[in-house]
Chains A and B, each alone.
Chain A
C-alpha cells in the first residue's frame, strides 16, 4: 500500500521569502502521480501542482514548483515569494495510475506567512 509522509506539522515564513514543504512517499508501483493541494481556512481543497512519475522535468505552476527526487521518493513543494494569502494547510497526495485512482494524502503542513 502507498503512504505519504509530511513531517512538518507547521511552518513559518516571512512574506516574500521562499519556503519548502517536505513530502516523502512510498509505493512499489512504478506508475503514479503526486499532487499538492492547498486548503485555506475556508475549507475548500485547491489543486496546486501535479507531477507524474515518468515526467522528466520538475513541474512548475506559477510560484509553485515541485522538487521531484524519484530515487529519494520525495516530492517537496517550493513556494517562491510567499504572500500573506499563502497561509493555509498544504497536503501532499499520491495516486496510482491503475486501479481505483483514489488519492492517498499526507497529514498536512500548516504554513503561516508573516508580514
Chain B
C-alpha cells in the first residue's frame, strides 16, 4: 500500500463549473502525476510534479491546472469543466527507490462526469 488517496471518488458537475480533485500521499515521495483514462486511450498524462511548487505539463494539459504547495498534496483543477473532461482521473506517485526504481503506484481513481 503506497498510501495514496484521492478525493472525491465520484463527482457529477455541470459544464462551466470549477472542479478540484485532490491527491494525497503519506510517504513524502517527490514525483506525483495526474493521468486521465478514456476508452481506447489507456492512461494519458495531464500534469506532473517533481517537488513542492515544481510542476509541468503532460500531453493532455489543456483545460487543467495543478498546484503543489505541500509534498503530500497534488491538486488538479478544471477551471471551467467541459463534457470532454468526463473521465476517470488517476493520481500516481513514483518512489524512485532501488530495484524497481521506476515503478509508479496509483491511487484508486476519481470518476468525474460533466453534464
Enumerate chain A interface residues (CB-CB to B < 8 A): 4, 33, 35, 37, 43-45, 47, 50, 52, 91, 93, 95, 97, 100-108
A108 CB to closest chain B CB (Å) equals 5
Q: Which residues of B in the span 94-115 have a Cβ within 8 Å of any Cβ on A? A: 94, 96, 100, 102-106, 108-109
Query: With a CB–CB cut-off of 8 A, which chain A residues contact B92?
Result: 45, 103
In the complex, the 9 A-B pairs of residues with the closest C-beta atoms, listed nearest first: A105-B42, A45-B106, A33-B102, A105-B43, A95-B102, A102-B45, A50-B100, A107-B42, A108-B42
Q: How many residues of chain B get a CB closer than 8 Å to chain A's CBs? A: 26
Chain B minimum-CB-distance residue to A9 = B40
Decide if A50 touches B102 in the complex (CB within 8 Å): yes
In the complex, the answer to whether B105 meets A47 with C-beta atoms within 8 Å is: yes
> Smallest distance from the beta carbon of B23 to chain A beta carbons, Å?
14
A-B contact count (CB 8 A): 58
Question: Which residues of chain A have C-beta atoms less than 8 A from B50's C-beta?
Answer: 100
Instruction: Please name all residues of chain B whose beta carbon is closer than 8 Å to the beta carbon of A102 when the two chains form the complex.
Output: 33, 45, 48, 58
**Chain B proximity of A24: nearest CB distance (Å):** 14
Please state if A43 and B43 are interface contacts (CB–CB under 8 Å): no
B100 to chain A, nearest CB (A): 5
Residues of B within 8 A of A33 (CB): 102
A4 to B59, CA, bound (A): 14
- Interface digits, B76-108 against A, CB 8 Å rule (1 contact, 0 not)? 000000000000101010101000101111101
By a CB distance below 8 angstroms, the chain B residues around A105 are: 35, 42-44
Distance in Å: Cβ of B35 to nearest Cβ of chain A: 8
| A101 interface neighbour in B41, B90, B96, Cβ under 8 Å | B96
List, in ascending order, chain A residues with CB within 8 A of B44's CB: 105
The answer to whether B109 touches A100 (Cβ under 8 A) is no
